Amino acid sequence: MDFQPVLTSHVRQPQSYTLDFYLQHLRGYEGLRKALTLKPNDVIEQVKASGLRGRGGAGFPTGMKWQFVQKDTPKPKYIACNADESEPGTFKDHVLMERNPHLLIEGCAIGCYAIGAKVAYIYIRGEFYHVQQVLEDEIEKAYKAGYLGKNIFGSGFDCDVYLHRGAGAYEAGEETALIESLEGKRAQPRLKPPFPAVAGLYQCPTAVNNVETLCNVPPIILNGPEWFAKQGPEKNGGPKLYCISGHVKRPGVYEASMHTTLRELIYGEQYGQGMLNGKKFKAIIPGGSSVPLLLDEHLDTPASFDAVAKAGSLLGSAGLIVLDESVCMVWLAMNLLHFYRHESCGKCTPCREGGDWLYKLLQRIERGEGRPKDIDLLFGVANNILGKTLCAFGDAAATPVLTTLKLFRHEFEAHVREGRCTLPSEWRAKTPVLAHH
Amino acid sequence: MSFHPHMEYAPAKFHKSERQLADAGEAFAYTPENQAKFDVNVTHYPPEQRKSAILYALYLAQQQQGYLTGAAMRHVATQIGCSPADVEDVVSYYTMFYTKPVGKYVLNVCRTLSCALLGAERVTEEMAKTLGIQPGQTDPTGTFTLMEVECLGACDRAPVVMVNDDWHERLAPEQVKDFIEQIKARGAKAFTGCHLHVEK
């Protein structure tokens, strides 16, 4: 299969983030120029025909999302670009914004044109300050060159792109919480419906799109929807960025088609290059920390939205965390629950209280003080969070516990029985983990 | 009978009668430069939605003073045109705002899975040992504050430490002592920065 990278083809070259480079080598802003000759509805139709699916985690078709944005209203419309990349194991948008910022700016402008918006806000997480500086400079250059601002290419279309810096909240990655945060409130999700397409930012119709999703739009307009759909299996078209981290020799962001299997991504020469320190593979988290684990027998699954879902997990944000044989699954669940307990916004009781409860139970088992009934209790508490919260965060918090219990229950039982971890885990602290709170 | 494990439900000072409001501190107002920056930023939002600029306004105040006092929050409230309670509501939610003084270098060690797999727990321990402080504390000289944070989004360069707004990547536990010495000697030059950011 001859797959040519589209989004990250030039990111390793010096100066790849500059406007000049973008214009010279990447047909910069030609997609926007072409889009402005089409009717907004035709732009949406093209994106729909390409089958582009949201890259943020849910895999919802982008064209549909744009079509749902209410057009027959006097209210202004908005694009909110979700650059609050906080899912553990995900770092693809970081590369795009840092090394190819104009692609995102162009994608925002085309998105605005398609849904009839005049303003796009890029909500960037507070920790990405160095990325923000690059984006700020490049947005200013795009304004000066006339690719943003008033009357772009003499078409009468006005578009402004603004950066909005977050301040450290995982929950702001949820689309309605992101909108709340943009409005200057706590990043807590809203009850849906109404969906953002009807009442989003300032109660106006809003499309919330991930960075990678918007970056895929200019190539679709330039090369046509058929070209895009051909870059991968049916309904999973287009280039995809995979973030590989954990126990692999060469962690990093790799662009591939969704035909690529998980095994290729871990062991392939041009990807992860195999396990670190010659250890044996144990499991993989295929889509950021919120999705179920997959085992060796699943590795020949293509890393596409549909195939990974069929194998019993989710592609999510395509953050692959590779785990070797030395990883204790009780510790893994505890580490992730520390994250979810800390990041829970506190709005829904099951997630706020349940996350804390799960973490404390896991801590007790990890310390070797677990009781036999604690394992069933974990299962019960997790199941009472699942599906009982306003946003998907509750499911995300319950999943690490449920998936480790399902696949590695014997490790939990061994902890309880032996009163200690039975795995040789020399990579971890020799001394006990610092007591938290 | 309850299956709920014995646990502290909340800090002792939970009841609102015992809750302390942020210390007002010294009088606070933006410097003219910061005021100008704020006035530009607020135009990014519709005129009736000034509250959207609150995060930016708080960042400005924090940069100016190092942390957010009650007076600073009240100043932000007048700038935005909302109540001081609204500002405190936001400040208490987001982790990147400090309501207590912090050291010159705030060492934020990522502790989430990908970093932890490659030894982040030991990085924190080494730092705590070297500096003689626990996570969340500032050393007596006011140079370093040690914090543990959740995923920073650079899992391929684990373990990652964010120092103020700078990054330091691939910090092995064995390098921690030297890293601290380097910061003391060379300041911000000791950081590797983001590997994608090589040209600046």
CATH number of the domain that residue A366 is part of: 1.20.1440.230
The yes-or-no verdict on residue B1 having pLDDT over 50 is no
Q: Which pLDDT tens digit goes with each residue over A10-58?
A: 988 889 999 999 999 999 999 999 999 999 999 999 999 999 999 988 8
Q: Specify whether A73 is located in the same domain as A130.
A: yes
Domain boundary (A292, A324, A356) is at: A324
Supply A235's token pair: 């309904």
Residue for token pair 């009357």: A151
* Cα B54 to Cα B79: distance, rounded to the nearest angstrom: 9
Residues A263 and A169 in one domain: no
Query: Would you call B162 and A127 a contact, using CB atoms and an 8 Å cutoff?
Result: yes
Going from the C-alpha of A263 to that of each of A3, A363, B18, the distances in angstroms are 17, 33, 56
CB atoms closer than 10 angstroms to residue B9: 8
Distance CA B120, CA B117 (A): 7
Averaged confidence pLDDT in chain A: 92
* Cβ neighbour number for residue B131 with a 10 Å cutoff: 21
Q: What is the mean pLDDT of residues A57-84?
A: 93
Q: Is residue A8 part of a domain?
A: no
Provide the CATH topology of domain B22-93. Arc Repressor Mutant, subunit A (1.10.10)
What is residue B110's three-state secondary structure? strand
Q: Closest to A98 (Cβ–Cβ): which among B7, B113, B196?
A: B196
**CA-CA distance, A178 to A170, in Å (whole number)?**
10
Distance CA A360, CA A179 (A): 32
Burial of residue B42 (CB within 10 Å: 0-12, 13-18, 19+) is: buried
Instruction: Identify the pLDDT of residue A436.
Output: 35
Q: Is residue A142 part of a domain?
A: yes
| Domain final residue pick, A265, A299, A324 | A324
- Cα separation, A230 vs A237, in Å, equals 6
Domain extent, residue A338, equals 329-418
pLDDT at A178: 96
Q: Considering only residues 342 to 381 of chain A, which have any Cβ-Cβ distance to chain B shorter than 8 Å?
A: 342-343, 345, 356-357, 360-361, 364, 373, 377
- Which DSSP state fits A268? -
- In this structure, are A305 and A201 located in the same domain? no
Closest CA to A147 of A90, A109, A203, A186: A109
Q: Which residues of B touch A253 (CB under 8 A)?
A: 156
- C-alpha span between A187 and A343 (Å, rounded): 11
Any domain includes A352: yes
pLDDT number for residue A347 = 93
Same domain, A221 and A121: yes
What pLDDT is stored for residue A428 in this prediction?
55
Here the ipTM equals 0.92
Contact B51 A94 (CB under 8 A): no
Per the omega criterion (within 30 degrees of 0), is the bond before B84 cis? no
Q: Tell whether the model's pLDDT for residue B196 goes beyond 90.
A: no
Distance CA A183, CA A202 (A): 7
CA dihedral sign, ordered A50, A53, A54, A60:
positive
Q: For residues A300 and A337, state if they share a domain.
A: no
If one compares B48 and B195, the residue with the highest pLDDT of the two is B48
Quick check: B3 pLDDT over 70? no
CB of A330 closer than 8 Å to CB of A338 = no
Q: What is the mean pLDDT of residues B15-44?
A: 87
Same domain as A256, residue A153? no
Report yes or no: A232 at the B interface, CB cutoff 8 Å.
Answer: no
- The separation between the first and the last C-alpha atoms of chain A, rounded to the nearest angstrom, is 52
pLDDT at residue B197, rounded to an integer: 72
Q: To the nearest 10°, the Cα dihedral for B173, B175, B180, B183? A: -130
Interface of A with B in 29-88 (CB under 8 A): 76, 85-88
A264/A200 same-domain check: no
**Which residues lie below 8 Å from residue A280, measured CB to CB, with a gap of 6+?**
A324, A325
Report how far residue A315's alpha carbon sits from residue A304's, in angstroms, rounded to the nearest whole number: 7
> Do residues A46 and A95 share a domain?
yes
User: For residue A429, is pLDDT > 70?
Assistant: no
Structure token digits, residue A56: 């943020």
On whether residue A73 sits in a domain, the answer given is: yes
Please identify, among A177, A210, A230, the residue that sits at the C-terminal boundary of a domain.
A230
Tell me, yes or no, whether A197 and A257 share the same domain: no
Cα-only R_g, chain B: 20
Residue A12 covered by a domain? no
| A374 vs A361: CA distance, rounded Å | 7
Q: How far is CA B18 from CA A369, B12, B22, B99, in A?
A: 34, 9, 13, 18
Is a pLDDT exceeding 60 seen at residue B7?
A: no
Chain B, 10 to 69: residues with Cβ < 8 Å from chain A are 44, 46, 49, 51-56, 58-59
B52, A164: Cβ pair inside 8 Å?
Answer: yes
Q: Tell me the two tokens of residue A111.
A: 């998105």
Q: Are residues A185 and A152 in the same domain?
A: yes
Interface contact A148, partner B, CB < 8 A: no
**Number of domains present in the structure of chain A:** 3
Provide the whole-model pTM: 0.93
Residue A188 belongs to domain with CATH number: 3.40.50.11540
The CATH class, in words, for B105-197 is: alpha beta
| Residues of chain A found within 8 Å of residue B128, distances taken between Cβ atoms | 434
Three-class DSSP category at A262: helix
Give the pLDDT band of residue A290 (cuts 50, 70, 90): very high
Report yes or no on A102 lying in a domain. Answer: yes
Give the DSSP H/E element, type plus range, for residue A243. strand A240-246
Spell out the domain ranges in chain B.
22-93, 105-197
Question: Does A351 share its domain with A386?
Answer: yes
A vs B: CB pairs below 8 A: 176
Query: What is the percent of chain A with per-residue pLDDT over 70, rounded to a whole number?
Result: 97
Look at B150 and A357 and tell me if their CB atoms are within 8 Å: no
Residue holding tokens 């871990």? A266
Residue contact A245–B119, C-beta within 8 A? no
Nearest to A90 among B82, B97, B153 (CB): B153
Subunit contact A184:B53, Cβ cutoff 8 A: yes
Return the beta strands (E) in A104-175 as ranges. Answer: 119-124, 149-152, 157-165
pLDDT (0 to 100) of residue A1: 56
Closest CB from A89, A169, A343 relative to B114: A89
Residue A368's pLDDT band (boundaries 50, 70, 90)? confident
The reply to whether A334 falls in a domain is yes
Residues A360 and A382 grouped into a single domain: yes
